[in-house]
Structure 1
Amino acid sequence: MNYRLFVFLLALLFPAKPAKAQEGSTVAATDAAWCWFSDPRALYHREKKEAVYFGYINSSGDVMVRSLDLRTHKMQEYTLHEKLQQDDHDVPSFLFLPDHRLLAFYCHHNGDIFMRKTVNPEDISSWEEERVILKKDSVNLYCYMNPVMLRDEHNRIYLFGRNIVRRKNGINQPWGETGIYCIYSDDDGSTWSKKTNLLDNSGRNTPQYVKYATDNKSRIDFLFTNGHPKQGADISVHHMYYEKGAFFQTNGKKIGGFGDLPVLISDVNKVYDPEAGKARSWIWDIALDAANRPVVTYARYPSETKHEYYYARWNGRQWNTKKIADAGPYITIIKPGKKLLEAHYSGGIVLDHANPGSIYLSRQINGKFEIEQLKAGDTAQRVSVTGRSLVDNIRPYAVSRGRGRRPLLFWMAGNYYHYTDFDTNLKMIK
């Protein structure tokens, strides 16, 4: 019998005793899910009001945005797009403009990239008309949105995500020549540049995945794989960064300029080599420390039912890597009569970007996924965020409020069957 199905049936037969709710935790949104490759999916912003803004997909396929005023506790909600797709890949990501209006980006899972802009600062009740800024066609399919604004480039906005090119030499392919699109805007999103491909995967017929970090001034860091872990045992983790028109290895060695794109993945130094580690991998998070050095989290997969979390920090000369925890198996619950589709969906391990020595993770404890907080330097000291839960707690996301302040913590709570089939809410701790 499948492992997760076995645990699921045991939970039905012998339900756990309910636990007291975590002090300070609230349900931020019911019927809500998100993936982890479009960020920021939640943002803290403080100007005339202090609020958190976050997005999600519901089971009707509506693209939703909410804001919570942290002083008055007033919640606002807006539907960016009704019935786009019942798929958590479509979750919106956000960026605040210098005038404090909010940009929202969302997508089809392998389709179009959409954008909307609020009419007024710090107010999600009114939006400009929806625009398609990347349109799918017979060749190109788009997914994921990761906006970054750099002050030193006159507030240029970069947008990154996945582009599957379905045809090569006139032949359709399952994944095609998958790339990472890059477009940019110098006028607050009113117009966008032509598309550029960021990465070259040497013709591998598998999608690469990227996570992004920035100092919001001059630098963008990229943590990426050379494929999907279910499509190869040799899935590695790489890092590079962009600054002042050029791309660099982690150690500062120049790779090439913006005009030299795409960067060949096989030429980029590895954070993790699966040949040495003897397990495929996938990425979870990247942040920059106070010295602008990258800190990353990722998962290794000795088997489908044994996921492991790792933390790596660049010390200026090399990556210092540490195993953080055994995560348990995949989060996907397999319904009777269904097959396992996503064996590499872990509970999740993320960083407080204002203090990347602080880690939040989801791992299986007594048959359910629970959220924990710990310090990278002392993994034995764990603080339980959830416990004795009746449902899984997965995909945590820490929303930074600045150095010296505790982040706002979000996560999904419920039963997760597939990215198109979920019964989850978003919870948060302020």
Structure 2
Amino acid sequence: MKEKIVWIFVVLYLCSFHLNAQNAENNPTGGGYQVAAEGAWCWFADPRALHYENKEGTINKTYIGYIDIHGNIKAMQYDFQKKEQEEVLIRSYFQPDDHNNPTFLVLPDERIMIFYSRHTDEPCFYYRVSRIPGDITTLGEEKRIETKNNTTYPSPFILSDDPEHIYLCWRGIGWHPTIAKLSLPDGKDEVDVVWGPYQIVQSTGARPYAKYMSNGKDKIYLTYTTGHPDNELPNFLYFNYIDIKTLQLTDVRGTVLSTIADGTFKVNKTGDYAKQYPSTVVDNPSERDWVWQIASDRNGNPVIAMVHISDNKESHDYYYAKWNGHEWKKTFLINAGGHFHQTPNLEKCYSAGMAIDPSNVNEVYCSLPVEGKYGKVYEIVRFIMSEDGEVISKEAVTKDSQLNNVRPYMIPASEGTPLRLTWMYGNYYDWIVSLQHPQGYSTGIACDFKGFPDRKKKKMIAASGKEIRFDPEKPFVLEQTITLGADNYQGCLLQLGDLEYYLNGETMKPEIRYKGKVYTSTNVLGTSDCWKTQARGTGGKWYTPQKYGEVRLRMEYKKGVLCVYINDLLDQRIDFD
């Protein structure tokens, strides 16, 4: 192929860690520190972030996942021991839709499993598993779990009473809450569906929205609505437990309502139903409910972050609901205005968001419109609650921001770290990239941690690229910009002696070729920017990948390990034998 190679640096390896390049024009202001310049998430697929620290002290890392408008599913990994930060490309060229953010699961052998799926238009899940415990820079190849029905919002669990299996919850059968039991990944990272999928409940509404959590032992909690608040007036909120030993569905008092394998539990939004199932119905308003999070207090009682949305959808009230052992106590927190985003008459039930601290459920983080230096902007505010569910105080987390701060999330198991709260910031036009709204979700990811490494690149010693031949005994760092030809998108992009960086013209996937072995990337060298020319919707199509006109390539090699970065995202890590 004809390509122009512009050498920026070919250098000796001087740095102990990779420093991500930054988009200086999209940094959070008013409080918070950048995790990623481009990224977003929906709030129904969790955990979208996770902290894991083992007892031996060998792993102490936080993982934050998101998807950008180019269809790149990504994750940031921060290692507190080494003070290293990496941004990993989990999957390129995916449906550019913020419903498709990844979720994380720590396996019993401490490897990290990452789930993701398209938004409701494909009957499968995708996943990747790290090859090294705790390290998502070592992800294996992409795998699929085939399902009978379409999938959205994967929420995985491993419980101590059954540590040999994964329980996966999602929106599946008939657009309803669904569960399946999976085997752990085998030596080839394959999993089997042991039982299910089973639909858990059947609502009179078309699309119940569910949030899940577990007690870590034997129960999965779920809270869910009658349906989508756009379509349901009123829209109730419900709560149940799932006992993984018996597959029984119970109310909050433990009354058995159904056995999931035998059929669904029926729910509706009538006054008679609320009287018949007072411990299942959390809230039966005259307005529209939607749910943001479920957690549990130290006694195991469920706590729920929820919102009341007015008849005309222009007023959103945040509420804190708590089971006190006798009844559901609901506390009004504050009015949060209307929908937070920039597009009128679209997704008017999109509140700016709420998050409960799972390690201290008396703290709730809310995104609210606040008048500040740059006008009315959505800011993060922390509410402190009493044990009986009353508001004690509130304080600003962000202030005088230029761009909205929305969809906060408290990172599970992070209570011993300084990286606890993360959120989206920036402009938001739609949940999907399309011809109607090509800007999509033009947001970044921020957090409350100021200890990330200096983003400025350290001084490097440059040399001529023509002088470099790969020597497995010598470390190096190499950077270059490659200009690609759309009509001949294939061939050798870089030759370093016996090591070749090659683009496969059939698959559009990069390959490292070395001494007869081929190491193929999981990811297509292209984007989903083609969605910008297509009608808005989730029709299950895979449009032709958008080819790059230019890419930034970076290689780092040290002690037998080669890391390949494309546009500052870690694409491949290769351990040479």
What is the letter of the counterpart of residue 191 of structure 2?
A: S
SS of the residue aligned with 1:231?
coil
- Paired position in structure 2 for 1:49: 59
- Is the 2:385–2:393 Cα contact (8 Å) retained in structure 1? no
2:239 corresponds to which residue? 239
Residue 35 of structure 2 aligns with an amino acid whose one-letter code is A
The corresponding residue for 1:309 is 318
Query: Following the alignment from structure 2 to structure 1, what is the Cα–Cα distance between the partners of residues 134 and 39?
Result: 23
Secondary structure of the 2:172 match is strand
AA of the residue aligned to 2:321: A
Cα drift, residue 256 of structure 1: 2.2
1:252 maps to amino acid: G
Question: Which residue identity lines up with residue 363 of structure 2 in the other structure?
Answer: S
- Aligned twin of 1:282: 290
CA contact (8 A) 1:329 1:364 kept: no
Find the aligned partners of 1:65 and 1:238 in 2 and give their Cα distance.
32
TM-score w.r.t. length of structure 2: 0.64
- Specify which of 80, 84, 95 is matched with residue 74 of structure 1: 84
Matches within 5 A, 1:399-414: 399-401=411-413, 408-414=420-426
Alignment match of 1:296 (pick from 304, 323, 328): 304
CA distance in 2, matches of 1:402, 1:107: 26
- Residue of structure 2 equivalent to 1:191: 192
Residue 366 of structure 2: aligned partner? 361
List per-residue Cα deviations over 1:16-37 (Å, max 9, x = no partner): xx99742xx3101111100000
The residue that corresponds to 2:535 in the other structure is none
Whole-angstrom CA distance in 2 between matches of 1:151 and 1:100: 14
Partner of 2:383: 374
Task: Tell me the SS of whatever aligns to 1:259.
Answer: helix
Deviation at 1:134, TM superposition (A): 2.9
Counterpart mapping for 1:16-415 below 5 A: 21-22=30-31, 25-47=32-54, 48-110=58-120, 111=122, 112-135=124-147, 140-163=149-172, 177-188=174-185, 190-193=191-194, 194-202=196-204, 204=205, 206-243=206-243, 244-245=245-246, 246-266=248-268, 269-274=280-285, 278-302=286-310, 303-334=312-343, 340-366=345-371, 367-377=376-386, 379=391, 381-401=393-413, 408-415=420-427
Question: Could you tell me how far apart the structure 2 residues matched to 1:97 and 1:29 are?
Answer: 26
Q: Which moved more, 1:382-391 or 1:399-408?
A: 399-408
CA distance in structure 2 between the partners assigned to 1:426 and 1:376 by the alignment: 27
Q: Specify the code of the residue in structure 2 equivalent to 1:304.
A: K
1:36 and 1:284 in contact (8 A); partners too:
yes
Identical-pair percentage: 29
Distance (whole Å) between structure 1 residues aligned to residue 315 and residue 395 of structure 2: 22
CA contact (8 A) 2:47 2:412 kept: no
Distance in 1, Cα, partners of 2:41 & 2:415: 26
Distance 1:19 1:297 in 2: 25
Whether contact under 8 Å (2:321, 2:329) holds in the other structure is: yes
Which consecutive residues of structure 2, in runs of 5 or more, have no partner in the other structure? 1-26, 433-439, 450-577
- The one-letter code of the counterpart of 1:330 is H
Q: 1:411 to 1:104 in 2, by over 3 A?
A: same
Whether the 8 Å contact between 1:238 and 1:271 is mirrored in structure 2 is: yes
CA distance in 1, matches of 2:127, 2:412: 24
Task: Sort the Cα spacing of 1:295 and 1:38 in 2 relative to 1 into closer, same or farther, 3 A.
Answer: same
CA-CA distance at 1:298 after TM superposition: 0.4
1:38 alignment partner AA = A
Query: Which one-letter code corresponds to 2:212 in the other structure?
Result: Y
The structural deviation recorded for 1:323 is 0.3
Deviation at 1:155, TM superposition (A): 3.9
| TM superposition shift of 1:403 | 6.1
**DSSP 3-state at the match of 2:157:** strand
CA deviation map 1:5-62 (0-9, x unaligned): xxxxxxxxxxxxx99742xx31011111000000000000012131111110011011
Matched letter for residue 445 of structure 2? L
Q: Is contact 2:208–2:224 with CA below 8 Å preserved after alignment?
A: yes
1:129 partner SS: coil
Q: 2:30–2:401: 8 Å Cα contact kept in structure 1?
A: no
Distance 1:325 1:116 in 2: 40
Shift of 1:388: 1.2
The question of whether the paired residues in 2 share the 8 Å contact of 1:178 and 1:201 is answered with no
1:80 and 1:241 mapped to 2: Cα distance? 33
Aligned residue pair count = 387
Q: CA deviation at 1:419?
A: 0.6
CA distance in 1, matches of 2:51, 2:340: 28
Instruction: Tell me if structure 2 keeps the 8 A contact 1:116–1:129.
Output: yes
Aligned-pair distance for 1:380?
5.5
Once residues 230 and 38 of structure 2 are traced to their aligned partners in structure 1, the CA distance between those partners, rounded to angstroms, is 28
Which structure's CA Rg is the greater one?
Answer: 2
1:156 CA drift (Å):
2.4
One-letter code aligned to 2:431: Y
Cα deviation, residue 404, structure 1? 7.5
TM-superposed CA distance for 1:251, in Å, is 1.5
Residues 125-134 or 323-332, more deviating: 125-134
